[in-house]
A and B are shown apart, each in its own frame.
Chain A
Amino acid sequence: MTTIFGVPTQALFGQLLLGLINGSFYAILSLGLAIIFGLLNIINFAHGALYMMGAFVAWMLLTYFGLGYWWALGLAPLVVGAFGIVLERVLIARLYKLDHLYGLLLTFGLALIIQGLFRNQYGVSGLPYAIPAELSGGQRLPFMFLPNYRAWVVVASLTVCIATWLVIEKTKLGAYLRAATENPTLVQAFGVNVPLFLTLTYGFGVALAGFAGVLAAPIYSVNPNMGADIIIVVFAVVVIGGMGSIIGSVITGFALGLVEGLTKVFYPEASATVIFVIMVLVLLVKPAGLFGRTA
């Protein structure tokens, strides 16, 4: 059997594929963060908590209303998005004129409150959420056993990421959005309702987090700390990709998933830190991030 640094190549393929799957979560979460930062200039620390909310909404839909996974996939992002819109209108909108730091502190506080409320109600062990029957089981590939559900995660997340990118870069709506962030006064003078645009953007950004939460529910235990565990990594991803760069966040998300996957094979103890090491290196060499534009 061929080996690379003592690891069979076949095992390596498996690990790369898993890295790609984890990268899907990073990509979809960092995409939402990048959109929100790019258009609203808000460093949304509540993103992890809203991702967790997505998973909990899926669980609640099933437990209290008997609505399964596919319903949740559609409804949970709407619920989380609506919640985000309320947050934006009531609280965040007041901070646009202030320094980034205020937005960061506000959203961080919100994250702690949301997590605390869920922890108080549901404890930390987590709640069971089964993989939908259509996607249970798996494929025996030559190099690994690939659960169908994990394959679906990659497909779903890639589709959503590409669609979002297309809307923002290629449509008229996207063009308005980009213009509104460039020069809101001028765009408003043309009769475009800029505050509404920003509200909807925030709603959409956090709906992406809710969507990721539903995707995660059958894999991880649905527990109040799931967002706190992942959000710091996702922020590192956004920083490495370049704050506000939409395509950068998606590519970096998948790429860092791969790097983390490889670390888990060669030096597992470092797998929780490797992304931060890369972040430090990138910031030293390219402070605006890999895909960022320097102002």
Chain B
Amino acid sequence: MFGRIARPVTLAALAGALTMGTAAAQTNVKIGILGDRSGAYSDISGEGSVVAAKLAVEDFKPEQHGLKVEIVSADHQNKPDVGAAIARQWYDRDAVDMITDGVTSSVALAISQVTKEKNKVFVDTGAGTADLTGPQCTPNTIHWVYDTVALANGTGGAMVKRGGNTWFFLTADYVFGQTLQRDTSAVIAKNGGKVVGSVKTPFPTSDFSSFLLQAQGSGAKVIGLANAGTDTINSIKQAGEFGITEGGQALAGLLVFSSDVHSLGTKVAQGLVLTEPFYWDLNDQTRAFSDRFAKQMKGGSKPTANHAGVYSDVLHYLKAVAELKSTADGAATVAKMKAMPTDDPLFGKGVIRADGRKIHDMYLFEVKKPAESKGEWDLYKKLETIPGDQVFRPLNEGNCPLVKG
């Protein structure tokens, strides 16, 4: 799979060497989109992230800021060892300055460590684990879109307030599922609810019937789906088949992307409550971006929150590099990014905290009924806006070594 990595490096280096000799120095910037291009998360990440990054570069107009930007992409196959190896090769050999996307928590943690070692920049949009800005935070990593704590506070908090005070978890058996269950359990306990059981499901799983039956037998009011991508799609689809919701139990999709709901269709997914920081139909600016995005995607699909995150972080990264006029020191670039407030058409105004957590509002959505939906991508209605300072974990509770002192 290494063959997929675009390698116009020598040319770029040559061009760089030539331009360096000439008058006003132009800064070369190389951005690597490292995501899942063929597996369970490739609709959330994949080609859409590359399209989003290109749109960001287009909007930034790098030539006006003395930058020359190149984008490369690769498939980490949701495997931490593959992700770390590509990151290492990119930094060492291919002169990549910054990696983004990084879907899949286990892979993200691996990329984050390599990035720190090489003093480059990693802005993660796709992974969930809040440990990226917790015990495993680094001066070179920013976590952009969402995390397990925010999802727990959003969906978990909302479900308990609606009376869902007993929970059973279906948990994807790797770092993401486990942190999501841990963080949601904390929110449930804080709001006076109780977790009555959980089952760890291998990742990925196609048949959830057995686990759903165990959840049904537990009598819990809420079945928490601590999984993502096709796992979530299959568990929701099969929950309908086994009459889970008709039996009075509610499903809580703790991480659901609009592409998942689109795949399920509103008939199956209706009534599902979920938390996302972005939806294509939020306002005029998100709609305009989504139209441009859809034109470049096969099948005209709308951007997910992850794609929006890639657009937004590439824009902010380029702003920081334009000010510094250098990409040499990754930690310094990240420090600059933290010092500058963020502002873009998709997430609005925000800040990046000392621990690397990007702060913006999140939204509680409910999936529309088929009768309310006016088109195949008309999926959500907004229930609530959860302010950024409430939905993310407080700075002093994450045990991030950068925050102490």
> Which residues of A does B touch, CB under 8 Å?
8, 11, 14-15, 18-19, 21-22, 116, 119-128, 130-131, 138, 144-145, 147, 149-150, 219-221, 223, 225-226, 229-230, 261, 264-265, 268-269, 271-273
Contacts and interface: CB of A to CB of B under 8 A. Distances in A.
B299 A229 contact: no
A150 B299 CA distance: 32
Given A123-B42, A124-B42, A138-B243, A15 B210 contact: yes
Q: Identify the 10 closest CB pairs spanning chains A and B, nearest first.
A: A272-B202, A125-B263, A264-B210, A128-B265, A125-B43, A123-B43, A147-B241, A221-B233, A124-B42, A126-B263
A124 B268 contact: no
B171 to A, nearest CB: 10
Q: Which has the most chain B C-beta neighbours within 10 Å: A8, A125, A147, A221? A: A125
Best-buried of A14, A22, A128, A138 by chain B (most CB within 10 Å): A128
Contacts of B243: 138, 145, 147
Contacts of B301: 123
B204 interface: yes
Contacts of B209: 18, 21-22, 150
B238 interface: yes
A149 B42 CA distance: 30
A265 B200 CA distance: 11
Interface stretch (B24-32, B212-220, B278-286): B212-220
Contact of B206 (A119, A144, A147, A220): A220
Given A128-B265, A220-B206, A225 B40 contact: yes
B207 A124 contact: no
A145 B247 contact: yes
B7 interface: no
B205, B209, B216, B230 interface centre (most CB from chain A within 10 Å): B209
A120 B209 CA distance: 29
Given A219-B241, A269-B202, A128 B263 contact: yes
Contacts of A226: 206
Given A124-B230, A125-B263, A223-B230, A229 B204 contact: yes
B259 A145 contact: no
A19 B209 CA distance: 9
Contacts of A272: 202, 205
Interface in B254-292: 259-260, 262-265, 267-268
B211 A264 contact: yes
B213 A124 contact: no
23 contacts: A11-B217, A21-B209, A22-B209, A116-B38, A120-B298, A123-B43, A123-B298, A124-B43, A126-B263, A127-B263, A128-B264, A128-B268, A138-B241, A147-B242, A219-B238, A219-B241, A221-B234, A221-B263, A221-B264, A264-B210, A264-B211, A269-B202, A271-B201
Contacts of A121: 298-299
Nearest to A25: B207
B207 A22 contact: yes
B42 A220 contact: no
Contacts of A147: 241-243
Interface string B40-63: 111100100000000000000000
Contacts of A219: 207, 237-238, 241
A130 B265 CA distance: 10
A120 B234 CA distance: 21
B173 interface: yes
Interface of B: 38-43, 46, 173, 199-202, 204-207, 209-211, 213-214, 216-217, 229-230, 233-234, 237-238, 241-243, 247, 259-260, 262-265, 267-268, 298-299, 301
Contacts of B173: 269
B299 A123 contact: yes
B213 A18 contact: yes
Given A124-B229, A147-B241, A261-B210, 19 more contacts: A14-B213, A119-B38, A120-B298, A121-B299, A124-B41, A125-B263, A126-B233, A128-B265, A138-B242, A145-B247, A219-B238, A220-B234, A220-B237, A221-B234, A221-B237, A225-B39, A269-B200, A269-B202, A272-B205
Nearest to A263: B210
A144 B238 CA distance: 15
Contacts of A128: 263-265, 267-268
A106 to B, nearest CB: 21
A220 B207 contact: yes
Contacts of A116: 38
Given A220-B206, A221-B263, A124 B238 contact: no
B337 to A, nearest CB: 32
B217 A125 contact: no
A114 to B, nearest CB: 14
Contacts of B268: 128
Nearest to B238: A219
Nearest to B269: A128
Contacts of B260: 125
Given A125-B260, A130-B267, A269-B173, A11 B40 contact: no
Nearest to B36: A124
A221 B241 contact: no
Contacts of B259: 123, 125
A150 to B, nearest CB: 8
Given A123-B299, A128-B265, A225-B40, A15 B213 contact: yes
Given A15-B210, A18-B210, A221-B234, A122 B299 contact: yes
B265 to A, nearest CB: 4
